Amino acid sequence: MNSELESPRLPNPFDHPNEECGVVAVYAPGGEASRIAFFGLFALQHRGQESAGIAASNGETINVHAEMGLVTQIFREPDFYPLTGEKAIGHTRYSTMGSSLLCNAQPLLVDGYQGRLALANNGNIINSPQLRDQLQEEWNCSFNSTTDTEVVAYMLANAPGSGWAERLFYCMRQLEGAYSLVALTKDTVMAARDPLGIRPLCLGKLDGGWIIASESCALDHLGATYLREVEPGEAIVIDKTGFHSETWTGRTGRRALCVFELIYFARPDSILDGQLVHSVRQELGAQLAREHPVDADLVIGIPDSSTAAAVGYARESGIPYSEGLVKNRYVGRTFIEPEQRMRDLGVRQKFNPLTEVIRGQRLVVVDDSIVRGTTTPHVVGLLRKAGAKEIHMRVCAPPIMHPCFMGVDMANRQELIAANQSVDEIREFIGADTLGYLGVDGLMKVVGGTQGGFCDACFTGNYPVPVQLELTKLVLEDSRPADATPDAN
């Protein structure tokens, strides 16, 4: 999925929340951890496509290789020569705080009172401007990026405490927001998850070593054994003495996993909150059919993220399921600005209708979300031109009415169509015959969130922590280093 960056380019024509980031940490006794981290990042590529990087330790030094682009574009065989050692962390990025700049590519390497440290993070630290000022004033930290991850890195590298778990807990007391972080010193691999568990993180075993990753699908690709999710407020420290885990005593026990992980972000073969994502999405479609039934001939999904939900809708409604749109899976970030004629084609660059299947049919079209409303009218128009008789739009997420400050790039309130128009106005705008959104109660019934185990702030405005409503992803840009120029991609 394309990313909306600050450098001039074609805006994102695909109307979904944009990815967050993916992290991986590897402790592989006797092995080359950086190569394992590479394949872990490859499995997490869907979480971000702006930049990627790996930091590795050979027990004496930490080396980092990070660049702009996709994982497979960034790493070639010679790039692994310096990345030796049995300890490594990796990151693939979509910018949620800080521009798409090379200086913001992670892992970030910093020096502090506790020595040299590399760190990568998935999430947003909403009090990072204040913490950054504090670190500059109290510890004389010199920042080289415009991302909140460097704030976390410097805080951990300078944190007081007799061991790394204590230092991670010191950070937890200071940090507000969402984070699933991995960190590396010359002799230690660490990981921590915020006390609410807003961003995902899981733990696995591989050949006597340990793997930590944003999603369990990364463990599967590596042949690792999935053990469990990292608990909210848990700090993991792995070194030559073994595996050590402690949970911060300050956590309340409340959980607030981002519900959009189950709706859209996570790969369908991942396990989140103890559930297979694919099965949850099918049940979301079934619940959508119960809430918004309609007489129709075919159910189709917007590929690929809505396919499971469309199958669930079809099974529950008894309406046959069929593919109706074929996705060009190689449409993504482009290094070539298309000419105006190609821009005007818009969605057709990504989707092509199966005309013989949908001509003359009454369609239920299932999508995972509508954010700005920029894509859906074009999809509806594409299906009408292909001969669809009726189009009944069904969305397996409630109306998105509030921006996210916890690590998802979801537009501001003025850009959110559901915050400014009624459901009927949106239906008219997108050109559908009917429009139905899954309700918040129905969503929580499916995901098991009746006890407040999920963050649903983008639907309800009930943020799990207090937020500054004017906070933007570029909040740290005023202190941009002089040599930090936007990537040309």
Helix (H) / strand (E) element for 308: namely helix 307-317
- Name the E strands within 144-252: 177-184, 189-193, 202-206, 209-213, 225-229, 234-239, 242-247
Tens-place pLDDT, residues 421-449: 999 999 999 999 999 999 999 999 999 86
pLDDT band for 331, please (50, 70, 90 cuts). Answer: low
CA–CA dist 242, 209 (Å, integer): 10
At 486 the pLDDT is 34
Peptide linkage before 148 cis (omega within 30 of 0)? no
What domains are there in the chain, each with its CATH number? 21-256+475-479 (3.60.20.10), 275-452 (3.40.50.2020)
Q: What is the pLDDT of residue 329?
A: 73
Choice between 2 and 420, residue whose per-residue pLDDT is larger: 420
Which segment of 24-28, 371-375, 447-451 scores lowest on mean pLDDT? 447-451
Task: Judge residue 10's burial from the number of C-beta atoms within 10 Å of its C-beta, 0-12 exposed, 13-18 middle, 19 or more buried.
Answer: middle
Sign of the Cα torsion 280, 286, 292, 296 reads positive
pLDDT in the model for residue 345: 60
| CB atoms near residue 346 (< 10 Å) | 19
Locate 281 and state its tokens: 């999405």
So what's the pLDDT on residue 474?
45
Q: How sure is the predictor about 335, in pLDDT bands with cuts at 50, 70 and 90?
A: very low
Active-site positions read: 21
User: Which pLDDT score, from 0 to 100, does residue 94 have?
Assistant: 75
Instruction: Give dist(CA 382, CA 130) in Å, integer.
Output: 48
Cβ–Cβ under 8 Å, residues 123 and 106 = no
What residues contact 231, with CB distance under 8 A and at least 6 apart?
A: 193, 197, 247
Least confident of 4-13, 43-52, 134-143, 194-203: 4-13
Provide DSSP, 37-89: HHHHHHHTGGG--SEEEEEEE-SS-EEEEEEES-HHHH--GGGGSS--SSEEE
Q: How distant is the alpha carbon of residue 27 from its chain centre? A: 24
- Band (pLDDT 50/70/90 cuts) for residue 2 is very low
Structure tokens belonging to residue 429:
């705008």
193-226 pLDDT tens trace: 999 999 999 999 999 999 999 999 999 999 999 9
Q: Residue 7 above 70 pLDDT?
A: no
Q: Sign of torsion, CA 187 189 192 198?
A: positive
Task: State percent of the chain over pLDDT 90.
Answer: 77
Distance CA 131, CA 168 (A): 15
